[in-house]
Chains A and B, each alone.
Chain A
Amino acid sequence: MRALQECMMSLSMNSYPADQVAKAKVLLIGLGGLGCPTALLLARAGVGILRILDDDEVDGSNLHRQILFDQNDIGQDKLTAGVRTIRRLCSTSPTRLEPIRARLLPDNARAYVQDVDIVVEGSDNFATKFLTADTCFIEHKPCVQGAAVRWVTTAISTSPTGRPCYRCLFEDLPLPDQAPNCAEAGVLGSVVGFGAALMAELTLRIIHGHPDFGHTYSYNGKTDNLRRHPVFRRQSCALCGSQPQIVDIGWSRYMDESCAP
């Protein structure tokens, strides 16, 4: 952990005017392989409020990618261990950390999203990803979403008004047998770290008023390719299309839990 500490010391504070950053209220969903470095970078950048939602405990198999935790934290809840590490590494950061031990669910999603400026999601299951995307569109919030599996990590940011939105790209939850099972597929820890850097970058661009909405970034660690692709809006999109079918948040749409821990 000493290396991590030295690293955070050597990462300079970003050189942009701090006022927008200090006012920003960010909701981070998931403190896992993507969430850990994203949280560290956003705290280091000095976002005003960083509210972190997670309800999981540290497992030994997490440690290769979840850099806020070490072997002493196994079995502890991620929020306690993670917030402790961020506070230690970012002791001069003005960021107010607000850990919330909860899972984003159809019942509480709108309330959590309503109360912030930007939503950043790095969860490990499609149900949460689609729930986040739908809630952000309905509540008119910009959203940054990341994913990582095997050698590939992706990140996308979407505007409060969509067009395009996450569903323009992915349409709907995959069937359980079509989605790679997160635990089975595996991932390289540092590939996840690259994805988190992309997520923090996209978040800071939104905060600074020059967002990169409607593009996906995709990095393949094995081929060392980083691609930025436009997402095209779909007229028939169920969320942001001309005749939307998703106008509220109901339980039935997010029942797929194939990748949940």
Chain B
Amino acid sequence: MTDLYSRQKKLREIGEVGQLKIARATVLIPAGPESEMATEYLRRSGIGSIAVDPHIAPLDFLHADQFQFELCRTFAASAWIATQNVVRILESK
């Protein structure tokens, strides 16, 4: 059986311990055009559980001004949400 997470576990900040943290984590993301793709990347990183919550305030995509095309901006925002959630999980106790 191939290890689906082997490439991200190579990261010093993740490893087996970080991957376990990721697997046990629950992530809530705000509803919006970015939520589906953010969910896709989070699911592929092995996150324990992901829920899209329409009641949380939408995130302000920090790098939106670098994207002129809406579909690229939305995709980048999705990847950004997923990335920042993983970073937060790794930083948590």
User: By the criterion CB–CB under 8 Å, are A10 and B83 in contact?
Assistant: no
- CB contacts (< 8 Å) of A6 on chain B: these are 36
User: By the criterion CB–CB under 8 Å, are A65 and B33 in contact?
Assistant: no
Shortest Cβ gap from B32 to chain A (Å): 9
Report A111-153 residues with CB < 8 Å from chain B CB.
150-151
Closest to B82 in A: A190
Contact (A61, B75) CB under 8 Å given A4-B36, A221-B83: no
Report B17-76 residues with CB < 8 Å from chain A CB.
33, 36-46, 62-63, 66-76
Q: Please tell me which stretch of A76-84, A165-173, A180-188, A233-241 contacts chain B, meaning at least 4 of its Cβ atoms lie within 8 angstroms of it.
A: A180-188
- CB contacts (< 8 Å) of A228 on chain B: these are 66
User: By the criterion CB–CB under 8 Å, are A188 and B36 in contact?
Assistant: no
How many chain B residues touch A (CB < 8 A): the figure is 46
Task: Give the contacting residue for A41; candidates B38, B46, B75; CB below 8 A.
Answer: B75
- CB contacts (< 8 Å) of A61 on chain B: these are 2-4, 6-7
- CB contacts (< 8 Å) of A189 on chain B: these are 7-8, 41, 44-45, 82
- CB contacts (< 8 Å) of A24 on chain B: these are none
- CB contacts (< 8 Å) of A71 on chain B: these are 4
Bound complex: CA A61 to CA B74 (Å): 26
How many chain A residues touch B (CB < 8 A): the figure is 52
User: By the criterion CB–CB under 8 Å, are A194 and B83 in contact?
Assistant: yes
User: By the criterion CB–CB under 8 Å, are A193 and B41 in contact?
Assistant: yes
- CB contacts (< 8 Å) of B38 on chain A: these are 190
- CB contacts (< 8 Å) of A151 on chain B: these are 11, 13
- CB contacts (< 8 Å) of A191 on chain B: these are 79, 83
Shortest Cβ gap from B20 to chain A (Å): 16
Contact (A64, B45) CB under 8 Å given A74-B2, A150-B11, A186-B9: yes
Contact (A63, B40) CB under 8 Å given A11-B74, A190-B82, A226-B66: no
Closest to A197 in B: B76
Bound complex: CA A221 to CA B89 (Å): 13
Q: Mark A1-28, 1 if CB is under 8 A from B, else 0.
A: 0011011001111111000000000000
Contact (A226, B71) CB under 8 Å given A189-B44, A193-B41: no
User: By the criterion CB–CB under 8 Å, are A3 and B40 in contact?
Assistant: yes
Top-3 shortest CB links A-B: A186-B10, A60-B2, A7-B36
Q: List 6 A-B contacts (CB under 8 A).
A: A60-B1, A189-B7, A190-B82, A196-B75, A197-B79, A228-B66
Q: Which B residues are closer than 8 A to A by beta carbons?
A: 1-11, 13-14, 33, 36-46, 62-63, 66-76, 78-80, 82-84, 86-87
A11-B33, A188-B14, A198-B66 known, 16 other contacts, Cβ within 8 Å: A11-B70, A11-B75, A12-B71, A44-B71, A63-B4, A71-B4, A151-B11, A188-B11, A189-B7, A190-B45, A194-B76, A197-B73, A197-B79, A198-B72, A200-B69, A224-B87
